[in-house]
Amino acid sequence: MKVFEALKWASSCLKEAQRDENAGEMLLLHHLGMTRTYLLASLQEEVPTEIMQKFQHDVKKHVAGIPVQYLIGSEEFYGRTFQVNQEVLIPRPETEELVLGLIDRMKQKFGHAPIQAVDIGTGSGAIGVTLALEVPTIKMTCTDIAEESLAIAKENAKRLGAKVQFLHGDLLKPFIEASQRFDVVVSNPPYIPDSDELSTVVKDYEPNRALFGGQDGLNFYRRFMEELPLVINKQGIIAFEVGFGQADAVSDMLKKQFPNAKVEVVFDINGKDRMVFASL
């Protein structure tokens, strides 16, 4: 089968199953080890039989619901490739916007001064590793409740050359116990309400511990409000990703806990309220 025929076959299968038709191209690029430019220049080339079999197998797996990123083992985030598996959430574009917004605010507040920062619930390490690579003055710590997630984050940090300290623990408890404080606390915690209906691609394959945040999705933010005063420095920054429609509730929590803070709700590129920043 030629490249264009393989793509056409995959597109037809995926369309019929109501999956993203672009997944076929992503999988074929992965199995052929090509760039997209080279692939488009090779549409009339034959796909080797062994590669075709692996490609067809993965297309069928995606039809069954397995995310493409887990099949190829990686996802792009902030211009870098992060390894992922079913122990971590797949990094998403809106989280890139959280990172960008946080970097801008850190520059404004701290300039070139050293920054102690922590990424809570790091998962693949996308946020913490990116901050460590993008901000020269930062001393980055990442924590997660799941050792399996930390293993992936550590591998990503090592492969990308990021200096990050990793710690196993439940939210801010390890730092409260150690009387350790930070200039920056950032988190993309589980925020999906327990009752929400998710696509099978997400619900059946991404780790539920990283998705669901209680009946209204706000349980982890409530815990943060209790623990943050014991960890954040007086001139600190708090940065959260939130679910669509949750920003006002999280903003109100921060204002109540930190009355003198400048609290901002920021909308993503799709016009959804997905980020909340507090500058103390």
As annotated, the binding site for substrate includes 188-191
Q: Where are the alpha helices (H) located in 111-237, listed in sequence order?
A: 126-134, 147-160, 173-177, 200-203, 219-227
- Are 111 and 96 contacting, i.e. CB atoms less than 8 angstroms apart? no
Q: Which residue has the tokens 């920003």?
A: 247
Q: List the beta bridge partners of residue 263.
A: 278
Please tell me what DSSP assigns to residue 146. -
- Determine the Cα–Cα distance for residues 74 and 77; give it in Å rounded to an integer: 10
- Determine the Cα–Cα distance for residues 184 and 45; give it in Å rounded to an integer: 52
- β-pair type (262-267, 273-279): antiparallel
Residue 62 backbone class (left: φ over 0; alpha: ψ -120 to 50; beta: rest): alpha
Task: Indicate the annotated binding residues for S-adenosyl-L-methionine.
Answer: 121-125, 144, 188
- Determine the Cα–Cα distance for residues 264 and 247; give it in Å rounded to an integer: 9
- Determine the Cα–Cα distance for residues 46 and 176; give it in Å rounded to an integer: 60
CA distances from 1 to 10, 47, 136 (A): 12, 6, 49
Task: Indicate the annotated binding residues.
Answer: 121-125, 144, 188-191
